[in-house]
Amino acid sequence: MTSTDHVHTAETARQRQRTFVPPSESYLPGVQDPAGDALLDQLFYATVDECPDPKCRPVLLDRVAGDVRATRKLVNWACWITSEVYGGLPEELVDEAAAADTVFCPSTTFRRLAAEYHNQGPSFDVVYDACGAAQRREAADNAVALVDGLQVWWTDFLYQ
């Protein structure tokens, strides 16, 4: 699965105060990709575990970022969970000035993708296709960090 000799799963992941469904269990219309979904779960649980292996998360992030569908599923999953937690998507995730005031400080790309999620606009595919791998990597990193942060801090995560 990865270049490392270990895996991260829901069963082995460290306990958090709350537990959200893994990315593989969120719904994305279109082509299904179980192997890609398993990769997303690995990245999420590696984040939850705060994996110290220098090759683990970076390799997983590279692989997710190389796949537009995987990145989109991950960001959608994070936006969906965040919307459930806050009763809507907080402006701290889409507005540049508001985001800058948070500890989380999401990337420009993540904010743009979150705004698209919020607007459910017809330009969704265009926005994703316009992102380079480095931007998708940032957004994927933000997505898993966001959900892990909510698992620990709940609604305080954006306002700690």
Would you state the structure tokens that stand for residue 67, as one six-digit string? 């796949």
CA-wise closest residue to 70 among 146, 149, 144, 150: 144
46 binds Zn ion (CB under 5 A): yes
Interface with Zn ion: number of residues (CB under 5 A) = 4
8 A C-beta contact, residue 76 and residue 28: yes
> CA–CA separation, 114 vs 93, rounded Å?
7
> CA–CA separation, 115 vs 93, rounded Å?
8
Q: Which helix or strand (DSSP H or E) is residue 96 part of?
A: helix 96-100
The residue among 40 and 114 lying less far from Zn ion, judged by its C-beta, is: 40
Stretch that binds Zn ion, among 41-49, 75-83, 129-137, 145-153 (CB under 5 A): 41-49
8 A C-beta contact, residue 139 and residue 12: no
131 binds Zn ion (CB under 5 A): no
Q: How far is the CB of 24 from Zn ion (least distance, A)?
A: 17
39 binds Zn ion (CB under 5 A): no
Q: First and final CA of the chain: distance in angstroms? A: 36
Q: Which of residues 54-73 bind Zn ion (CB under 5 A)?
A: 56
The residue among 44 and 80 lying less far from Zn ion, judged by its C-beta, is: 44
Stretch that binds Zn ion, among 13-21, 50-58, 128-136, 151-159 (CB under 5 A): 50-58
81 binds Zn ion (CB under 5 A): no
**Could you list the residues that contact Zn ion (CB under 5 A)?**
46, 51, 53, 56
